[in-house]
Amino acid sequence: MKKRLFSLILAVGMIVSLVGCNTPTDNPPPEPITLSTPTDIRVSAEGVVTWSPVENATEYIITVNGKEFTTQTPYFYLDVTQNATFSVIARAENYLDSASSETGTFTKPAITVNIEGGSEIRSGKTLKLRAVVTGVSEKGVTWEVTEGNEFVSVAEDGTVTALEVDGDKTVTVVAKSKADPSVSATKRITVTAKTELTQEMLDELAGDKISFEGFLNISLYEFGISNDFVRSFSSDVKTAMDGTNWYTQYTDTDSGIVSRLYYKNVEGIASQVSVSFMNEESYTPMLDDDDREIHWEAAGLYNNFKTLKASDFTFNETTWRWEYKNTEDGLIERMVASANPYDFDPTNLALIIEDGAIAGIYSKAKPDRTLVPQYEAIKELSVVINAGDSVEVPTISKFKSDPRHEPLKQAIENMQALDSYTLEFLNIEGSTMSSGYTVSGFTETVTADTCYFRPFRQNGYGDDEVIRTYTNEDYGYSKRSETLYNSFSIDGGVFSANRAFRDDFSSAKPSFAFAAEIFTSYYEDESDGTITFYVNETMSAVASTFYMGVGNELALYGLFAAEGNTGEFTFTPFVTVKDGFIIEAGFYYNLGYLYGVVELKYGTFDQTETPASVTAGLAAMEDRQIPLYWSQVDIITTPDSSDTEHMENALEFLQEFFGMEDIETELPFFTAVLGDTYGFGLLDYRVPAGESVTKPTLMLYFDVPLDVNYSLEGSIKAVQRFLLENGFTKNKHDVFRKGDIAVQVVDSSLDLNIYVWKA
């Protein structure tokens, strides 16, 4: 397997040449991670630029003809009336911007057709449509009704005449270029009838199950003096809900991008649903602009018809639509949110009534100047309703099990039940900052009460010989009691505890906490009795469960595991099973500026012992406890008259800083929720958020691990809840205050900093 994996590394092109194996003796802080470069840049004939989504990116900067625009989605609408060159970079807070994508070009079509005009026509009335043709001297079009010609007709000049109808009808009108009939534009129109609304109609929709399906129509206008019409396009919409689950599938008809989202009512909170490594549902709460969890009732992802009365609506004599009267109670926003996954700020909610029943809803949004830069978008939502037991509400699918998973299931159970084994961690790493690659790693002996690491640098890699240099900087984890273990280091034969953990000692070992089902392909080698299982690409971060390491840097490799791609073949994180155990695992990772392959080997199952010298050293080592009080830590202060750093007891400093003897009661120490992760405190000067004057500020650094989604969100939320529980209130600048004490929790390039100052 080693030779096979190493050949794969070379093929992937992650490693170019060997540049030596000198390793710095000091460990510098991790550099900010650079986002991957957007790839697969494409542009449709309609001017929609798309690219492959970049992992962790929260927005993209697209440069069009020298001007920059920001979008949160991996697509962008160009102005199709002019030629354009464009490129894209990915951006996210606490990451370095990606490199610029390849440059794309857009040539305005030789001929384009767009239709300007309203989306509604009253029964028996007329509506004038105008075809806007560009790119050819012949501006004429032929008009045609392609759907609903029993309800409307269209004249040569684009005048649509509605016949008398007894209910709202949806029709489709097409304008084809006379110069090139293959070029056309489509307009969907609703014929509205003067209808009656009864409570019985509303009651027909009062069950839990309901679905909406239709389209979001967007018309673009130049904003300014002229307000000229530019173009129109539409996006399909499909949602379904049953009171507990909400699902949407939406397709952009220009770009062809299809997305699916699942939400669920989880203990009263609207939560997005995904599948965990254990093949179980996991939940991420929906948050408002202040990062507060949104309750299910406020999210509106359920049937909002259930409580409506006929008296809630009034008939609009101009549009011939029954419209909801109260625009202040939030019902319109909740109703549109349940029916439509796109950003939409509604101005109204109208009923579409057909054949004596409510067939759908219509809503028009406030003008939007953010969708396409330099243009104003007018958005209209029209969706039909289906209600009752026939409605199907898709829920997120778990991975399926079959007999092929049985060897892996048994191996996972056996690995988790082991008292002892050895682990070899080999990291073959390249960098965007230099050429070549380095090879390093560690060997680990795992026993019931000790995890002992011996790091090494690898100087050679041959078929018959591996040349390694051990660094003599050994370290590990030591069980101190049933609920306490310490990390330790060895310096000159002296063992010192570095961090304390209030947990079972199993937390210091690789968890192998994953379900066999998430490995969706396999290869069986009958010659050596092994089966290699490959994880589904969406679960690549499962590699983080294959090993454990002291500190946070090693964990990053597994969290940023990704699909490796040579252009000819791909590979994902894998585990190899033999004789009931996992004997090998491997994965490719990409941290932006660092990338490489990790190879893991497991052996000597239940036959491993901690070296006697290590056992003796740990027996003599003094236990470390988690510091819980300010009085147990120091901070760095620098007197005004000196550039020399001074250490001062944190409690004594805070008492003087705030002039409060009981400061430890008013501001408890944060290790109560962050564990033994306090790195250092530093007195500095900065302009606090929301203020304009520089103030002395205590900066506290905590070395917390990343969450599985590559963020510090879990730790930040824990501190914020801790502050609220201790009487602090949050303002719009994310500053927590209680009296004269101000606190802000900041993710600084994946470092958790807590700022404390006198308000």
Residue 28 CA neighbour count, 13 Å, CB half: 5
Residue 140's nearest CA partner among 194, 191, 177, 99 is 177
Please report which confidence band the pLDDT of residue 12 belongs to, taking 50, 70 and 90 as the band edges. very low
pLDDT on residue 3? 31
pLDDT on residue 546? 98
Tell me the per-residue pLDDT of 219-274, one tens digit each, with 9 for 90 and over.
Answer: 999 877 677 888 888 888 999 999 999 999 877 555 556 678 999 999 999 999 99
Residue 324's nearest CA partner among 346, 302, 300 is 346
Please report which confidence band the pLDDT of residue 29 belongs to, taking 50, 70 and 90 as the band edges. very low
Tell me the per-residue pLDDT of 572-621, one tens digit each, with 9 for 90 and over.
Answer: 999 999 999 999 999 999 887 789 999 999 999 999 999 999 999 999 99
pLDDT on residue 16? 27
Higher-confidence residue of 569 and 174: namely: 174
Residue 418's nearest CA partner among 317, 531, 509 is 509
pLDDT on residue 566? 65
Do 616 and 602 form a contact (C-beta atoms < 8 A)?
no
Lowest-confidence segment of 510-519, 561-570, 589-598 by average pLDDT: 561-570
Q: Is the pLDDT of residue 479 over 50?
A: yes
What is 307-348 written as a DSSP string?
G--GGGEEEETTTTEEEES-SSSSHHHHHHHHH--S---BS-
pLDDT on residue 19? 25
User: Averaged over 326-349, what is the pLDDT?
Assistant: 93
Q: What are phi and psi of 684, to 5 degrees?
A: -140, 180
Q: What CA–CA distance (Å, rounded) separates 39 from 89?
A: 10
Higher-confidence residue of 566 and 323: namely: 323
Q: Is the pLDDT of residue 120 over 50?
A: yes
Amino acid letter at 74? P
User: Averaged over 13-27, what is the pLDDT?
Assistant: 31
Q: Is the pLDDT of residue 23 over 70?
A: no
pLDDT on residue 643? 62
pLDDT on residue 45? 73
Q: What CA–CA distance (Å, rounded) separates 429 from 426?
A: 10
pLDDT on residue 25? 34
Give the Å distances, CA to CA, from 424 to 392, 452, 520, 547, 610.
49, 12, 26, 10, 15
Q: According to the per-residue pLDDT averaged within each range, which of 9-23, 24-38, 248-262, 391-405 is highest?
A: 391-405
628: its two tokens = 């819980």
Please report which confidence band the pLDDT of residue 6 belongs to, taking 50, 70 and 90 as the band edges. very low
Residue 426's nearest CA partner among 458, 399, 396 is 458
Tell me the per-residue pLDDT of 626-644, one tens digit each, with 9 for 90 and over.
Answer: 999 999 999 998 765 556 6
Please report which confidence band the pLDDT of residue 46 belongs to, taking 50, 70 and 90 as the band edges. confident
Residues constituting the chain: 759
pLDDT > 90: percent of the chain: 63
Q: Is the pLDDT of residue 209 over 80?
A: yes
pLDDT on residue 10? 33
Tell me the per-residue pLDDT of 344-379, one tens digit each, with 9 for 90 and over.
Answer: 999 999 999 988 899 999 999 999 988 777 789 999
Do 663 and 654 form a contact (C-beta atoms < 8 A)?
yes
Higher-confidence residue of 80 and 281: namely: 281
Amino acid letter at 201? M
Rounded to a whole number of angstroms, the CA Rg of the chain reads: 32
Please list, residue by residue across 611-648, b when 16 or more beta carbons sit within 10 angstroms of its beta carbon and e when fewer do: eeebeebbeebeebebeeebeebbbbbeeeeeeeeeee
pLDDT on residue 711? 82
pLDDT on residue 354? 86
Q: Is the pLDDT of residue 463 over 70?
A: no
Q: Is the pLDDT of residue 65 over 70?
A: yes
Q: Is the pLDDT of residue 9 over 70?
A: no
pLDDT on residue 252? 54
Do 242 and 390 form a contact (C-beta atoms < 8 A)?
no
Residue 426's nearest CA partner among 451, 469, 455, 467 is 455
Tell me the per-residue pLDDT of 127-160, one tens digit each, with 9 for 90 and over.
Answer: 999 999 988 888 999 999 999 999 999 999 999 9
pLDDT on residue 298? 94
pLDDT > 70: percent of the chain: 92
Please report which confidence band the pLDDT of residue 1 belongs to, taking 50, 70 and 90 as the band edges. very low
Q: Is the pLDDT of residue 513 over 50?
A: yes
User: Averaged over 319-334, what is the pLDDT?
Assistant: 92
Tell me the per-residue pLDDT of 672-729, one tens digit each, with 9 for 90 and over.
Answer: 999 999 999 999 899 998 888 999 999 999 999 888 777 888 899 899 999 999 999 9
CB neighbours of 618 closer than 8 A, spacing ≥ 6? 450, 478, 488, 495
pLDDT on residue 278? 97
Number of H helices, E strands in the chain: 11, 50
pLDDT on residue 732? 84
Q: Is the pLDDT of residue 20 over 90?
A: no
User: Averaged over 510-528, what is the pLDDT?
Assistant: 95
